[in-house]
Amino acid sequence: MSQPAMPPLLASLLDAPLPPSGIDWLDQVRREQRAAFAAGGLPDTRMEAWKYTALRALAQRRFASGDAAAQTHAVDTAALVLPGIAGPRLVFVNGAFRADLSRLDALPTGLVLQPLSQALQGDAEPLRFALSRQAREPGDAFARINAASAGDGVVLRVAAGAKITAPVQLVFVGAAAAVDLAWHARSVIELGEGAELSLIEQHVASGEQMHLATLVSAIELREGARLHATVLQHAAIGASLIRRSQLRLQARAHATVHVLELGGALVRHDLQAELVGDGARLDTRGVFMPHGRQHVDTQLAIRHQALNTASSSIWRGVASDRARGVFRGAIVVAPGADGSDASLSNKNLLLSPGAEIDTKPELEIHADEVKAAHGATVGQLDERALFYLRSRGLPLAEARALLTAAFCRAVLDDLPNEPLRDHLATLLLAQLPDT
Amino acid sequence: MSMLTIDNLHARVAGKEILKGLSLSVSAGEVHAIMGPNGAGKSTLGNVLCGRDGYEVTAGTVTYNGIDLLALEPEARAAAGVFLAFQYPVEIPGVNNTYFLRAALNAQRKARGEQQLDSMQFLKLVREKLKVMQISDELLHRAVNEGFSGGEKKRNEIFQMAVLEPQLAILDETDSGLDIDALKQVAQGVNALRSPARAFLMITHYQRLLDYVVPDVVHVLADGRIVESGDKSLALKLEAQGYAGHAAGAAA
């Protein structure tokens, strides 16, 4: 049987030279992952995890690797700034670290924050475990090419007991370039025992472009660590962005993750968490709000693997025009994770007849004395409420905006940083269609 | 001259004719009560006047201050001074009552070309109205009607009316589901808003609200038409005799 021709996407990504590291084990991992990517190919819609996200159009495109101008693109720093946030900042433009845009002076005691490219020039051994992690699932194509090709990214460590009060910003900028680029970044984040960190991950656009970016983040919380993470995805409207966040929580660690998906043409986020220590807790909150022809797919997978672990997830989707939203929330309570508590709510709103949202909550329980609740809905704005608001004088567009914002409110309610919360609420409103 | 003139109004809901040639005239300063049996078309009249979707006007005219009211979107009717106190006020989780009311007032003011109120000015207005309405400001901090008791919802409608200061207020069975204390409070609120410049259309099934808000004119609505009009004594007669003589149930 003859081999089918390799899709242009695959061929162009494989054309990219592996980033030179000079570290034997890392070079070895990269070669293996590249080979696995070449052999495994792209996932298709027959795979459960990719059922609603077809890559046919993306597969036909070609992306160049390496942006010679990555260090010199002018970037409006206003795009990086968030109200009330003035802490350390690591900025990447088209995948390359930009010292001139970053803020790494006077880091607080207990915080290590540096680009991966620099960390690898020093003692790379502490990164070996995180960077050697193999992507084995059949749908892992992008994790593989990321492991092979990501030459830069983030290394962030918080020492045991250190409480980092000022939020740390990780900013990934997609900048306009002569060609469509593919770039890959890798984050390795570790919070030591009892450490505390607020983290903001931003994806922003500097000019119109249609790049493909992948980001794989490994986030480890040791005993009693506390993480507040906020992801603000506001990539260019033509960009393709494929992210995987892997969290691992030790005993009594507590992570809260807020995600706002606003930008991008094709957006995929795999948010995977393992609660491996007794009493670990994860709260996830998210809104995806595609409009135009955007396609935004969130795959949430939470594994309760220890006693008395808890997770709560509240996600809202709002789709308008001909946009498509996809949400899959899979929660597994593994054998032995007795006394666990898992809840998941995904409610969705369709603002246009041509919009679509596919949602699938999944719950698997293999332990005892587990509390679990999950639910998903897809609906439209309440006509009675709309008329009520209009009868009081609110124009239709304003009434729709008010109801939509209220619909999303549950997601932002428990975000502790008030200026950030207000800012995100404003961004949500700005995303609403005018009709 | 009359503020509201309804002439030969015919309206359908879900293909079924409910209003069958209703005519009515209301002048500024007057309180009109519309009474009638269930199914006569009382709530349909309120909804048609406020522009709710699904109510199709097939004939007749509604003239409000010289303009064709039926040609306006619901929000434009509100800005023009028409207010409907709902029979079943809608709960809107996640929308703060105060925020909503300020947005509504400012949207109306904007549509009328008036200056919008900032939050301080609005708060001052709200405090004045709260005093007049004798309701607690705790209602303000909650989501619109969410978890309100039946009485609280109706009082909130009257409070909104007080803040929005309409010229024509339509009260759709505002007395239904209220105990006597709540009824008195609502009536007191309505009475406080009576003025020579304002007209009320009170739609009700029972006479008891009219003990507290005394109407200038009482109409009997039956089978989609006004079949009898009179002064407040008509309401007492209806209370004693029922709607039996007025084609009750013909449109039920």
Q: Do B74 and A387 touch (CB under 8 A)?
A: yes
Q: Is A274 helix (H, G, I), strand (E, B) or coil?
A: strand
Residue A108 is assigned to a structural domain of this protein:
yes
Residue A314 is assigned to a structural domain of this protein:
yes
Residue A411 is assigned to a structural domain of this protein:
no
**Reported confidence tier of residue B133, pLDDT bands at 50, 70, 90:** confident
Q: Do A393 and B90 touch (CB under 8 A)?
A: no
What's residue B248's pLDDT? 45
Contacting residues for A291 by C-beta, under 8 A, at least 6 apart: A319, A320, A321, A323, A431, A433
Residue A415 is assigned to a structural domain of this protein:
no
What's residue A2's pLDDT? 53
Q: How many separate domains does chain A show? A: 1
Chain B nearest C-alpha distance from A373 (Å): 21
Task: Please give the order of strands across the beta sheet that includes B67-68.
Answer: B16-27, B2-13, B55-64, B67-68
Q: Is B93 on the interface with A (CB under 8 A)?
A: yes
Residue A426 is assigned to a structural domain of this protein:
no
Give me the total of CB pairs closer than 8 Å, taking one residue from chain A and one from chain B: 73
Q: Which residues pair with B22 in a beta bridge?
A: B9
Give the global pTM. Answer: 0.89
Residues 133-192, chain B, touching A (beta carbon < 8 A): 143, 160, 164
Handedness of CA B25, B30, B34, B35 (dihedral sign): negative
- The CA dihedral of B109, B111, B115, B120, to the nearest 10 degrees, is 40
Residue A416 is assigned to a structural domain of this protein:
no
- Contact criterion met (CB below 8 Å) for A411 and A314: yes
**End-to-end Cα, chain B, rounded Å:** 34
Specify the pairing of strand B168-172 against strand A212-221. Answer: unpaired
Q: Is B113 on the interface with A (CB under 8 A)?
A: no
Closest C-alpha among A215, A230, A257 to residue A419:
A230
Q: Once rounded to an integer, what is the mean pLDDT over residues A385-408?
A: 94
**Reported confidence tier of residue B250, pLDDT bands at 50, 70, 90:** very low
Could you report the per-residue pLDDT of B151-199, keeping only the tens digit for each? Answer: 889 989 999 999 999 999 999 999 888 888 889 988 998 999 999 999 9
Supply the ipTM of this predicted assembly: 0.95
What's residue A434's pLDDT? 65
Residue A37 is assigned to a structural domain of this protein:
yes
Which among B89, B107, B143 has the least Cβ separation from residue A394? B107
Mean pLDDT of all residues belonging to chain A: 94
Residue A64 is assigned to a structural domain of this protein:
yes
- The CA dihedral of A398, A403, A406, A407, to the nearest 10 degrees, is -140
- Contact criterion met (CB below 8 Å) for A297 and A268: yes
Distances, alpha carbon A124 to alpha carbons A47, A117, A216, A304, in Å? 36, 10, 18, 31
Residues B99-127 as b/e (b if ≥16 CB within 10 A, e otherwise) read bbbbbbbbbbbeeeeeeebeeeebeebbe
Could you report the per-residue pLDDT of A37-48, keeping only the tens digit for each? Answer: 999 999 999 998
Task: Give the pair of three-digit tokens for residue B125.
Answer: 């207005």
Could you report the per-residue pLDDT of B9-25, keeping only the tens digit for each? Answer: 999 999 999 999 999 99
For chain B, helix (H) and strand (E) counts, in that order, are: 8, 12
Interface residue of B47, B77, B144 to substitute, partner A, most A CBs within 10 Å: B144
Q: Do A402 and B100 touch (CB under 8 A)?
A: yes
Specify the pairing of strand A111-115 against strand A96-97. Answer: unpaired
- Contact criterion met (CB below 8 Å) for A300 and A313: yes
Q: Which residues pair with A384 in a beta bridge?
A: none
Q: Do B74 and A395 touch (CB under 8 A)?
A: no
Range of the domain at A83: 8-388
Chain B nearest C-alpha distance from A123 (Å): 51
Interface residue of A391, A403, A429 to substitute, partner B, most B CBs within 10 Å: A391
Which among A385, A402, A407 has the least Cβ separation from residue B103? A402
